[in-house]
Chain A
Amino acid sequence: MSRWLPYPVISAMLLATWLLLNEDLSVAHVLLGTVVAIAGSWVLVRLEAPPLIFRRLWIILRLALEVVVDMTRSNVRVARLVLKDKRDRTPGFVRIELSVRSHYSLTLLACIITATPGTSWVNYESTSNVLVIHVLDLVDGDDWGQIIKVRYEGLLKEIFE
């Protein structure tokens, strides 16, 4: 199993993507999708990707809900900042000491931070596990490190670690 199907979860997701793309459940497409899914997971072996294990998959729904709400809210905030062209805006960098370490947690966190307008991922050092983000408007009193930790890190940890 591990030799022929090294990443079962990722292969299943690839197959599902293939079938959704073709909107077809015929035997031919299932076979072709299986070939793609297995070949794709062999590429990951070459890339030495760590195994993908979901500890608590349903928490991903809670995380998704949280992200959608935050994303919408920050979209409105950034749109307002652009239109007002406020001069007293204070952009800046924030240093956050992370406690998640797994590749998949970090990847998802990068997607979330990038997908939220107003924050962007700048630098991550794996030796010290320190992340630096750029914030478009550092409102005084907002502790971004705490916000990221409370909102996302706990959930990510529950999903992957």
Chain B
Amino acid sequence: MNAIEELPVWAAILTSALLLLGSSLALIGSIGLLRFKTFYERIHAPTLGSTLGLFSILAASMLYFSIARTRPVVHEILIGIFVTTTTPVTFLFLVQATLYRDRFEGSDPLSGLSEERQSVKTPTGS
């Protein structure tokens, strides 16, 4: 790969900045997965990597390959669409399974909600 040597400096800097941003977000997401204590909190953390983290890495890839191969790359847009439309499916399955288990064990986390009470706070568990 000698394309990287032909890459203009501004593009190289921008590509690496986007890559670093994306991977830091994925790392922070994983740290959150480790730090948060309850399931419903944990489910939020990996979203960092699958949204802005993913988009920064895709943007870096688009930028690099558009310049190095001198043609626009559209595959990344498709990857973005596929990931954003399929992650909710997995998330919903996981959440529904947990909710089912909680209810089965007799501790429905949603039991406090009613028309009068629109939100319930839960302990952080940490």
Chain A residues within CB distance 8 Å of chain B: 17, 20-21, 23, 71-72, 75, 78-79, 81-83, 85, 87, 89-96, 110-111, 114-123, 132, 134-136, 138, 144-145
Cα distance, A73 to B33, chains bound together (Å): 20
Which 9 A-B residue pairs are closest in the complex by CB-CB distance?
A82-B32, A92-B121, A117-B47, A114-B88, A75-B52, A95-B113, A94-B119, A136-B44, A134-B40
Q: Decide if A122 touches B119 in the complex (CB within 8 Å).
A: no
Contact partners of A117 in chain B: CB under 8 A: 44-45, 47-48, 51
Given A85-B35, A94-B118: A78 in contact with B48 (beta carbons within 8 A):
yes
| Residue positions of B touching A, CB distance < 8 A | 25, 28-29, 31-32, 35-36, 38, 40-41, 43-45, 47-48, 50-52, 74-75, 77-78, 84-85, 87-88, 91-92, 95-96, 99, 109-110, 112-114, 117-122, 124, 126
Our pick among A72, A93, A94, A115 for the contact of B47 (Cβ within 8 Å) is A115
CB distance from A149 to the nearest CB of B (A): 12
A to B CB contacts below 8 Å, 18 in the list: A81-B32, A82-B31, A82-B35, A83-B28, A85-B35, A87-B126, A92-B121, A93-B113, A93-B120, A95-B118, A110-B92, A115-B47, A115-B50, A117-B44, A117-B48, A119-B44, A123-B96, A134-B43
